[in-house]
Structure 1
Amino acid sequence: MRMRATGAALVGALALTTLVVPAAQAGAAEVETKITKVVVNGGKDVVLGTRAEKTVTVSLTATHPDGIEQGRLYLWHDDGTGKADNIVFANEDWGTCTEIDDTTSICKQTITFDPLLTPGRNEHAGTWRVSAWAMSPGGHDTRHETKTVRVQRASKLTVNAGPEPVTKGRKITTTGKLTRANWDEIAYKGYADQPVKLQFRKAGTSTYTTVKTVRTNSTGNLSTTVTASKDGYWRWSFGGTTTTPAVNATGDYVDVR
């Protein structure tokens, strides 16, 4: 079951998660159950649009001389003070653990992000923390900051270059727009004041070269002019930020005569 929790309810949820270890395991600090690795979404950022859900795989690797019995993970967003203001639990209560050998197992779960609920607000884009818990017959290991993962607002980038065709030596005007998912308004909105590269690829080649960098205006729009010299493709390229992924526009061909 997944849910979004805030305020006191969230603090309670976090506290409960740290206390789900059976009483028999209390005081077992001398037993070395260790979480050695955590992976979220194959090591890639989680990118969300405005409506579509996304399910990712999370896993932990843990070890103990007597083997690993159970494992579980969840993700939470730090409000800037070390406290959680949003949380998303795995779809399964417990992970499916697969033995690597007699002492070590990998436990996997799935987590579903719904942009309308988790994260649900623009302020929750960026770095999320991963909490993991593993239990063995002889002890447990609980870690609330084993790893971080970026949860980002999906981006889009358009381009239009012209006139087409154009006489060599004349000016080409290239326009476009950079937008990203706005979870507050459930729509794509312009991404203001961002550096975006204008790039060119000569016809018959496969590599783009940066010509200049232009910043988006207050509504995410882009516009610049260059001198026409060769047939080829023009595109905009955005390098991304912590909250928004990199994106390239599809190249627009201009015939120079």
Structure 2
Amino acid sequence: MRIRTTAVAVSGALALSAFAAPAVYAADDSANGIATSPQWAAATAAGGPSAFGAATAADGDLDVSFSAMKVNGGKPIVVGATKHRTVSVTYKLTHAADLDITSEDFANGPFLYLKSMPGSVEDTLEVPVLFGDEAASCTATSATTANCKALIDIRPADGELVNSYAKTWKVGGLALQFDEDSLELGETWQGELGTAKLQRETRLTGANATPEPVKKGKTLTVTSKLTRANWNTNKTPAYGGQPVKLQFKKKGTSVYKDVKTVKTSSTGVLKTTVKATADGSYRYVFAGSAGTAAVTSAADAVDVK
């Protein structure tokens, strides 16, 4: 795990121009990203010089509030060992009538936090936090409300996750406004806007039933293999000792039925035998757990003679 840092150093006069800065990090993470909003880049950059030069936080919070946020459509966020993952977030923003949310001086967006709710940029250096690379896109619905959508970016290959982060995170919202005259940055942090379950990705190889074709009443051997993402090593090793259900769907029907439960070997291998009774398809189904995603293998159709 590393500290995500920025090499951005711009003066206050250039603070409203486009520039590169990191936008996603946790307590001890590291990598680079691009933020389209200078406010967002400044607030979500851990370490290094401020993107606003001499800008300081304003004395008062912005007159802004967030509704409950819907993350990933309410489904768990499944993250593999290395692949960059983007997660959609939707919510309503309520703001003062005199606050122009279309101004280049304003930015807002969601974030996930694991331990305590951050109340400042400095706080995010102490607790795991995940932001998006870009600020939210908002459409006004009245003089004081807007519907917003955003993405949270997760890059396990850059050291943003460890296995202990596979649990339920809380959702927060951050709004920022930069005053070019006073060089002050107003900010509002709001937590407890929902929850999102972060899970390690699992994979099952396609079920393979042999021999094919097979005579009725003869023995079929059905195999597969279960693996799980390891965020500590950025690899996807075997997942041994796990109960996995073998299911069968008779040809001409639409419902799979449980046949038996099989445990994976120390190398993640699934192997069991069944009697061939009718044409149909076999598959394996792993139920997962709180921090591990469920997965279903591709099915193998069997022709019984």
Measured against the shorter chain, the TM-score band is: 0.7 to 0.9
Kindly provide the CA deviation profile for residues 202-228 of structure 1, in whole angstroms up to 9, marking residues without a partner as x.
123332111112222333222222211
Which residue number in structure 2 is paired with residue 196 of structure 1? 244
Q: Which residue of 2 aligns with 1:35?
A: 66
Matched, 1:6 2:22: no
Give the % identical residues.
39
What letter matches 2:139 in structure 1? T
The one-letter amino acid of 1:73's match is: P
1:77–1:87 contact (8 Å) kept in structure 2? yes
What aligned pairs does 1:155-166 form with structure 2 within 5 A after superposition?
155-158=202-205, 159-166=207-214
Letter in 1 for 2:189: T
Q: Please, which of 103, 113, 134 is the counterpart of residue 76 of structure 1?
A: 113
In the other structure, the counterpart of 1:224 is 272
Match in the other structure for 1:131: 172
Question: Is this contact kept in 1: 2:26–2:160, CA < 8 A?
Answer: no
Distance 1:121 1:186 in 2: 9
Query: SS of 2:164's equivalent?
Result: helix
Q: Which of the pair is proportionally richer in strand?
A: 1
1:103 to 134, 140, 144: 144
TM score, norm. by length of structure 2: 0.67
Judging changes above 3 Å, is the alpha-carbon distance between structure 1 residues 66 and 21 closer, same or farther for their aligned structure 2 residues? Answer: farther
One-letter amino acid of the counterpart of residue 152, structure 1: Q
Matches within 5 A, 1:109-148: 109-117=150-158, 119-134=160-175, 142-148=189-195
Unaligned runs of 5+ in 1: 14-19
Q: Which residue of 1 aligns with 2:223?
A: 175
Partner Cα separation in structure 2 for residue 44 and residue 5 of structure 1: 22
Asked if 2 retains the 8 angstrom alpha-carbon contact of 1:45 and 1:149, the reply is yes
Per the alignment, in what secondary structure is the counterpart of residue 222 of structure 1?
Answer: strand
Q: CA–CA distance in 1 between the matches of 2:249 and 2:127?
A: 45
Number of corresponding residues: 238
Alignment CA distance shift 1:97-1:67 (3 Å): farther
Unaligned runs of 5+ in 2: 1-21, 29-44, 47-55, 102-106, 117-123, 178-185
Match of 1:16 in 2: none
Aligned to 1:87: 129
Equivalent residue, structure 2, for 1:211: 259
TM-score normalized by the length of structure 1: 0.78
Contact 2:208 2:223 in 1 (8 A): yes
CA deviations over 1:102-139 (Å, ceiling 9, x no partner): 23212333222111235332222222222213579xx9
Shift of 1:234: 0.8
Q: Whole-Å Cα distance in 1 between the matches of residues 175 and 133 of structure 2?
A: 17
Cα 1:222/1:134, change in 2 over 3 Å? same
CA distance 1:95–1:67, shift in 2 (3 Å): farther
Please say if residues 4 and 118 of structure 1, whose CA atoms lie closer than 8 Å, have aligned partners that are also in contact: no
Question: What secondary structure does 1:42 align onto?
Answer: helix
